Amino acid sequence: MSESNRLRIAIQKSGRLSKESQKLLKSCGVKFNVNEQRLIAHSDNMPIDLLRVRDDDIPGLVMDGVVDLGIIGENVLEEEQIERQTLDKPSECIKLRQLDFGACRLSLAVPTEFPYQDAGSLEGLRIATSYPNLLRRYMQEKGINYRDCMLKGSVEVAPRAGLADGICDLVSTGATLEANGLYETEVIYRSMACIIQSTHEQSDAKQALIDKLLSRINGVVRAKE
């Protein structure tokens, strides 16, 4: 049985969003203990189960209605949404609200010696990225042709390794770029973490729990502003 009376929330298992996601839920009064070996953490005081997965899996789990809620970076959400639209797969979800963590930007960067003027300087060149859809959308808007170099990791070393001329990667401080002899030339997307809900129909009890949780989240986030 995959349907459950308990509210299912997908959060990142381990990474930049996992601690803050857990902290947010705890400050909303959801009690749970995470066992690092386990996929699921059950709350003991509310009918809520936390599903701890790779962040990339979260938008799809919500869009397919496997889980009810998810906490995810807007960058990953938007990338998956475009990907699914091109594949004609379900891509709908409700963004309940932006959260106050996970700030980063998706930027173009090139080697320090690259004579960069504007994004047009990348015409015909190869760009390494883990976000091919967000990059394509930006470059199409600008009318620039470029070549893809799809990498799930180590994007920042691609130019030095001779795999690409530039990169399109997540940046928060810029220290990683600098350490790899790159500089940021263009911000193509600004992102924060957000909480999303499945568009699949919920029971009244589950929707009431979602409403209660969201109102607590609003309180917690506003109190910090």
Binding site for ligand ATP (CB under 6 A): 12, 15-17, 54-56, 73, 75-76, 102, 104, 170, 172, 191
Smaller CB separation from ligand ATP, 43 or 75: 75
Stretch that binds Zn ion, among 47-55, 64-72, 129-137, 179-187 (CB under 5 A): 47-55
Smaller CB separation from ligand ATP, 125 or 192: 192
Question: 185 CB contacts (<8 Å, ≥6 apart)?
Answer: 107, 108, 109, 110, 116, 119, 166
83: contact with Zn ion by CB under 5 A: no
Closest CB 158 distance from ligand ATP, rounded Å: 16
**Would you give the end-to-end CA distance of the chain in angstroms?**
42
Closest CB 20 distance from ligand ATP, rounded Å: 9
Smaller CB separation from ligand ATP, 75 or 129: 75
Smaller CB separation from ligand ATP, 98 or 199: 98
∠ CA 145-146-151 to the nearest 5 degrees?
150
Question: 183 CB contacts (<8 Å, ≥6 apart)?
Answer: 109, 110, 112, 177
Choose, by CB under 5 A, the member of 55, 68, 79, 186 that binds Zn ion. Answer: 55
Matching residue, tokens 């808007």: 141
56: contact with Zn ion by CB under 5 A: yes
How far is Cα 220 from Cα 100, in angstroms, rounded to an integer? Answer: 10
Closest CB 207 distance from ligand ATP, rounded Å: 27
DSSP 8-class letter at 65: T
Smaller CB separation from ligand ATP, 151 or 209: 151
How far is Cα 189 from Cα 187, in angstroms, rounded to an integer? Answer: 6
Closest CB 71 distance from ligand ATP, rounded Å: 10
**In angstroms, how far is CA 219 from the centroid of its own chain?**
23
Residues that bind Zn ion (CB under 5 A): 55-56
